[in-house]
Structure 1
Amino acid sequence: MTAWSVREVPLKYQLSDWSLFSISLSLQCRSVSLFGESPVSTPEPPSLDELAEGSQGFMVRALPIVDELPQISERNGYICYIPLQYEHCYIDLTLTFDDYQKKFSSKTRSTINRKIKKYAEHCGGKIHWKTFKEPEQIREFFDLARQVSKLTYQERLLDAGIPESESYVRQAESLAAENRVRAFILFDGDRPISYLYCPVEQGVLIYAYLGYDPEYMKLSVGIVLQWLALEVLFADNCFKAFDFTEGQSDHKRLFATHHTRRANVILVKASLHNRVIIYSHFFMNQFSHWLGATLNKLGLRAKIRKLIRFRL
């Protein structure tokens, strides 16, 4: 089992797709790796005497679960809060690429091939893209990826672009020296337009950052780069899986070969202060989901999201 590490965990308060503010809790945290633990039916809270000094509780990310769990409950002196439950998607890279392609219907394979062909035609017949895995290549990758990331709504709206800190780049260089990084850039001529960055943990590639220039949305460049990268990763024949990590999206479901049920679990001391934070976050999430569903029903959510992407 991964050891606990104490850190500040932000709970983000947002309405639908728009972040408002966040409140942090000091928690002892760990993450469960892709093949780390068996599913549980109920998260078991540690005893209160396991709390480190200054810690308000525990957080387990990507805990495998048997079935849907109640979002909020109290027991053994803890509030058990589960803000996220999801189908965890991954790709089995021990397959051959030919066998992997068989998981797609003929219609889906045709659609993917058509997108790749369309982008190749846009590029004059040949797609320009590059793999980065050597330590001396990593800084170039981040320089190119940052050019794209600053254009994305993830960075401008959600502060979720690819990191630009010197410490992160140096960490990536160290991983590359151990053959623990694969990164990719898709170009239009010499212009970088999409990036994919994947560190490696215990033989598993982690889907850490994917981004693309919003001007190229209609050319499906995220799908194009993902497919090209997977061809290389299957050919490498040295990784166990490609882990899409937490959250759900059509992109992840399209490419995944397997799905497991996972949850992010927060267990905090049942104090008045913590109750206010947890229950307010819970009710804000409930309202946010209702607002998103209402905007979808009215046909407004996609229009507002698109407006924000291109105007911010």
Structure 2
Amino acid sequence: MTVWERRDVPFKFQLSDMTLFSVRIPLQVRSERLVADTPPTHELRVPADALLAGSQGYVVRGLPVEGEPRVLSKVGDFICYVPQQYHHCYIDLSQTFEQYQKKFSSKTRSTISRKIKKFADHCGGQVKWKLYREPGEMKEYFALARAVSKLTYQERLLDAGLPESDEFQREAEQLAAAGRIRAWILFDGERPVSYLYCPVADGVLSYSYVGYDPAYMDKSVGLVLQWIAVEQLFSEGIFKYFDFTEGQSDHKRLFSTHQRRCANVFFIRDSLRSRAIVFAHRKVDSLSVWAGEMLERHGLKAKLKRLLRGAG
């Protein structure tokens, strides 16, 4: 039986990284899991499961697909909306670290080594980092990671920083007690400069929260910490995959061993309100893409991103 979770799902109206506003629709949500090895589908169908009380539809995240599904269509009594299609990146951890390194070209390995050495030289010759995995370590981890998260563009612009609630920290402690947390901090001396937080389910680590101090943007501290984390996970040898979750980026493509084409698919019961929300969301999204293409054409996109991510 499929397990659904009812949520008030936000539709964020964004231009690039900036959220203008959001509208919520009560929907029931599930995510396709890597370990399920779901075959790709070429036809999007409304789930057969009954709607939960108060739910106005379904969301299936990370659904493997063939080709490129239509962004908007009508399926029975539902609007089918596919706002995100991407290559889902992940690392197969069943191999050795030596085998993993062979996926990189000699030029890329040299570049990674050079960036790690550059940061080590900045720190006086040695890279300092710490793995947090025990319940008693979570308080220290959150104090350090939150100090970095408050500086990141994820928190300032996307409202996606590391949560600071007591409830979230208690949940982390419970996961740690069950051996289901791996979290890292990278330091410059005693100063935390980058963090990575990965809960574990069914032997799969999820790339859930990540960030770095924008003052260290030119020192590639995110890449340095990712490399350290991956090497440490291979040394443990107990996990199946490192899941970069939905969305794609150069960072995820660089470190992944596999990619599969996926989509986030919404089936929303047809109504005037849902049509207005979905169509408006689609228009704003298209405008954002157009604006990004125009900035790229004039050589301004990368500069604007650096400005937004580095601004305090």
TM-score range, shorter chain: over 0.9
CA deviation after TM superposition for structure 1 residue 203, in Å: 0.2
Calculate percent identity across the aligned residue pairs.
57
Instruction: Indicate yes or no: 2:169 matched with 1:169.
Output: yes
Q: 1:95 and 1:210 mapped to 2: Cα distance?
A: 25
* Structure 2 counterparts to residues 1-312 of structure 1, below 5 A: 2-36=2-36, 37-46=38-47, 50-312=50-312
Displacement of 1:305 after TM fit? 2.5
Please tell me the residue identity of whatever aligns with 1:211: G
CA RMSD, aligned part only? 1.2
Preserved contact between residue 97 and residue 234 of structure 1 (Cα < 8 Å): yes
* Distance in structure 2 (CA, Å) of the matches to 1:12 and 1:285: 9
Q: Distance in 2 between matches of 1:311 and 1:223?
A: 20
Aligned residue identity for 2:41 = V
Task: Tell me the SS of whatever aligns to 1:44.
Answer: coil
Preserved CA contact (<8 Å) 2:45 2:75: no
Corresponding letter in the other structure for 2:116? I
List, as ranges, runs of 4+ consecutive aligned residues in structure 1 with deviation greater than 6 Å.
none
How far does residue 199 in structure 1 lie from its aligned partner after superposition?
0.5
Q: How big is the shift at 1:40?
A: 1.1
Q: Tell me the CA shift for residue 310 of structure 1.
A: 3.2
CA contact (8 A) 1:7 1:28 kept: yes
Q: Distance in 1 between matches of 2:101 and 2:47?
A: 44
Distance 1:307 1:231 in 2: 32
Moved more, 33-42 or 57-66: 33-42
The size of the alignment, in residue pairs, is 311
289-298 vs 84-93, greater mean Cα deviation: 289-298
- Per-residue Cα deviation, 1:61-116 (whole angstroms, up to 9, x for no partner): 11111221111100211100001000000000001000000000000000001111
Partners of 2:17 and 2:144 in 1: CA distance: 27
Q: Aligned to 2:251, what secondary structure does the other structure show? A: helix
Partner deviation per Cα, 1:226-273 (whole Å, 9 max, x = no partner):
101111100000000100000010100000000011110000111111
Whether the 8 Å contact between 1:151 and 1:214 is mirrored in structure 2 is: yes
- d(CA) in 2 for partners of 1:202 and 1:246? 18
Q: Name the CA distance, whole Å, in 1 between partners of 2:113 and 2:308.
A: 31
The one-letter code of the counterpart of 1:7 is: R
Instruction: Tell me, yes or no, if the aligned pair for 1:2 and 1:31 is still in contact at 8 Å.
Output: no
Structure 2, unpaired ranges of 5+: none
The Cα offsets for residues 10-32 of structure 1, whole Å up to 9 and x where unpaired, read as 00011122210011100011111
Q: CA deviation at 1:39?
A: 1.4
Aligned equivalents of 1:7, 1:154: Cα separation in 2: 22
8 A Cα contact 2:35 2:202, kept in partner: no
Aligned residue identity for 2:240: K
Maintained 8 Å contact 1:12/1:21: yes
CA distance in 2, matches of 1:283, 1:164: 34
SS across alignment from 1:210: strand
Residues of 2 paired with 1:38 and 1:62: CA distance? Answer: 12
- In the alignment, the residues of structure 1 paired with residue 291 and residue 266 of structure 2 have an alpha-carbon distance, to the nearest angstrom, of 24
Unaligned runs of 5+ in 1: none
Q: Give the whole-Å Cα distance in 2 for the aligned partners of 1:306 and 1:252.
A: 19
Contact kept, 8 Å, 1:82 with 1:263, in 2: the verdict is yes
Measure how far apart 1:2 and its partner are: 4.1
SS of structure 2 residue aligned to 1:285 = helix
